Amino acid sequence: MINAIRAAIFLIAAALPALLCGPAHAASPHPAPLRIVSLYPGHTDNIVALGAGDRLVAASRDDGPAFLPFLPGSPGSPGSPDLPRLPPRVDAEAVLAFRPDAVFLRSLVERMNPHLTEVLERAGVAVHVIDPPSWDEFEGYLTRLAGILGTDPEEARRRLAAARGAVADAAKTAAVRGMRAPRVFLEATSKELHTCAPDSWAARLIRLSGGVNAASSATPLREGSALASWGVERVLATAESLDVYLVQQGPMNAASPEEIRSRPWGAVLKNVSLAAVPERLLSRPSLLGLEKGGALLTEIFGSAASSAGPGSE
């Protein structure tokens, strides 16, 4: 009887920390990864931003070099300048060749590679399928990613707040100087002249940076889409009230300000500031993109507002 009581006390004592901490502090089922393959550029950007870029052993072919951590290292080592790139469609053997202990991707990549997750998990690799978050979901995404990487979630939250605060402060400085908030149109794709959906990451970043989205009434192409219909006719109808015409440059749009000026209707933008912004800085849910893209937009908008002079919307 005494032995049974002692055993019960031992079991309660062993379980007590878990009971007190609760599920929010439960240990991760996987240790912090040391060798990471990222198959989505947004995850790559944020892995780098959270200080784990030196653990990357391969990344998506769509990753631009700007955010990859060019750390000293021998060819092929984590974080080295020649970090290998993998195509969107990739077989599990090609991924396993890098001996990863974690692979990050989004559901679109998983659909393109139907058996990838199954084969990787059978090989003992932790697979994290995380879709790009919305503006309002980004803090939760970032802290979740920090938890997986074993970095400090609180520091991730602080850095996000600081990044958003810096962009907002720069926009407020222009407003304090009496500058009129510039009216902005974003060309997301030159084909059919799509713009950003009103609640997309790009639209929210434009607003935070002090711009007024001239296409705020645009209709998303489908539910949840970051793109929205607009068209040349509506650009022409609003051209006189525009201050800035942003060209999103990336895989979906290779247009340039010079090319837009040469379009048959380009003359209507003669009094409008045209500026190109990389897609990764404007539309990708990324802490690095928020910091760099926000700084670029506030600079563009500040110059346009100075040219437009003081006033109100």
Q: What was the pLDDT predicted at 20?
A: 34
Full strand arrangement of the beta sheet holding 56-60: 85-86, 56-60, 36-38, 102-105, 126-129
Q: Rounded to two decimals, what is the model's pTM?
A: 0.82
The CATH number of the structural domain formed by 178-308 is 3.40.50.1980
Query: In 106-253, where do the E strands start and end?
Result: 126-129, 183-187, 195-196, 212-213, 219-220, 227-229, 244-249
User: 36-131 has which fold?
Assistant: Rossmann fold (3.40.50)
Show the tokens assigned to 272. 């409008």
Least confident segment among 70-84, 172-186, 234-248, 269-283 = 70-84
Using alpha carbons, select from 38, 29, 240, 281 the residue that is nearest to residue 148. 29
pLDDT surpasses 70 at 296? yes
CB 301, CB 295: distance < 8 Å: no
Q: Where are the domains of the chain?
A: 36-131, 178-308
Between CA 269 and CA 243 the distance in angstroms is 9
pLDDT surpasses 80 at 142? yes
pLDDT surpasses 70 at 127? yes
pLDDT surpasses 90 at 11? no
pLDDT band at 119 (very low <50, low <70, confident <90, very high): very high
